[in-house]
Amino acid sequence: MDQRKLLRVLDGERVFPPPVWLMRQAGRYLPEYREVRAKAGGFLDLCYDPDLATEVTLQPIRRFGFDAAILFSDILVIPDALDRGLHFVTGEGPKLTPIREDEIGALEPGRAETHLAPVIATVGRLREELPPETTLIGFCGAPWTVATYMIAGHGTPDQAPARMFGYQHPEAMEKLLYILAEMSADYLIRQLTAGADCVQIFDSWAGVLDEASFEAYAIGPVKRMVDKVRAAVPNAKIIGFAKGAGPFLSTYREKTGVDAVGLDWGVPMDFAKGLQKGGAIQGNLDPLRLIAGGRALEEGVDRILEHLSDGPLIFNLGHGITPNAPIEHVEALLKRIRG
């Protein structure tokens, strides 16, 4: 039997207590992360330094003993490999050079192999240094979410620039998503080959799409990725996290081919239970409950375990842990889950 509980869940097995990890678990809520971050200089310098990226990935495993480690990187390394002027502004987040319709055909995906080589080196280092029972998760951004940043040049509340671009330039949008899907699939294949046990595709902005756009932008490109990854790495385990997708999740797993569906905190328990009949689900504690602690945290954890622990479940937050999450609340979360 595989020691790595998370992989057993991805195979459809019920494991109790469920394996647990937290999105953004290597991050600013940890003092040891902040020390390394200060040494690195820029955020991207940290992402592309195998020594430092390995260290910050391992920190939450040493401190908390999570069942999985997720590679420390960023979803925007793909547009960075495309030379889109990515940089991070303190207090404002990522900035890129907005892409025009007539520039899409000139993108150079071939740069990615060399550009992303340090990230792949980090994956290999992690598999060597992680405990044998700890699952290593690789990841990338979904084509739609990555495209929203490339089109607007920054994050926006409802990704209106990207949605409008898709309505006004459907062929250009299709081409951009195709390029990103191909590059992202190749990137995931390299992570899996280097030692990742499974991968997660983050579609953080899937929730702003209408039904037709969700089919075209969130499902189609991810299916292309899943098919390409599995052609190269048979039986590759893939988690799809389409944040805010709500009722569209009812067919997301079937249409994309992902093994598990990540859930944000807005997904009702009864709906989640229905999704679980088709295979593993992951989630979905409100990150604010982790900050609040006490009764709010306990009730949130208990509700998820009560409704979803009879099936294949990976316990996680409904989105990333925030910098103001108290360490003692993370410890209380794990104690509550593991009894």
Q: State the pLDDT confidence band at 52, using cuts at 50, 70 and 90.
A: very high
Is position 111 annotated as part of the catalytic site?
A: no
* Residues 197, 68: Cα–Cα separation, whole Å: 10
Q: What are phi and psi of 99, to 5 degrees?
A: -85, 140
Give the pLDDT mean for 321-330. 98
Local confidence band at 240 (pLDDT 50, 70, 90 cut-offs): very high
29, 33, 48, 149: the catalytic one is 149
* Catalytic choice (4, 8, 24, 163): 24
Tokens encoding 299: 């009730």
Catalytic one among 14, 28, 63, 111?
Answer: 28
Q: Which of 8, 29, 33, 37 is catalytic?
A: 37
Q: Is the pLDDT of residue 1 over 60?
A: no
User: What does the mean pLDDT of the chain come to?
Assistant: 97
Smallest CA-to-CA distance from 185 within 137, 220, 227, 147 is with 227
**Domain 5-338 is of which CATH architecture?**
Alpha-Beta Barrel (3.20)
For the chain, the structural domain boundaries read 5-338
Q: What string of H, E and C letters represents the secondary structure of 76-92?
A: CHHHHHCCCCCEEECCC
Confidence label for 91 from pLDDT (cuts 50, 70 and 90): confident
CA distance linking residue 28 with residue 294, whole number of Å: 22
What percentage of the chain exceeds 70 in pLDDT? 99
Residue for token pair 């990890």: 21
**Separation of alpha carbons 299 and 59, rounded Å:** 28
Assign 3-state DSSP to the chain and report helix, strand, coil percentages, each to 5: 55, 15, 30
Spatial separation of the C-alpha atoms in residues 277 and 47, rounded to whole Å: 37
Spatial neighbors of 141 by CB under 8 A, at least 6 apart, are: 75, 76, 78, 184, 201, 202, 203, 204
Mean pLDDT of 303-313: 98
Residue for token pair 């189609």: 220
Which position among 74, 80, 259, 264 bears the catalytic label? 74
- The pairing of strands 313-317 and 237-242 is unpaired
List the beta strands (DSSP E) in 51-128: 68-70, 87-89, 93-95
Q: pTM of the prediction? A: 0.98
Annotation says 33 is catalytic:
no
The bridge status of strand 135-141 relative to strand 68-70 is parallel
Question: What confidence score (pLDDT) does residue 2 get?
Answer: 62
Tell me whether residue 24 is one of the annotated catalytic residues: yes
Residue 14 has pLDDT above 60, yes or no: yes
Q: Is residue 58 within 8 Å of residue 130, measured between CB atoms?
A: yes
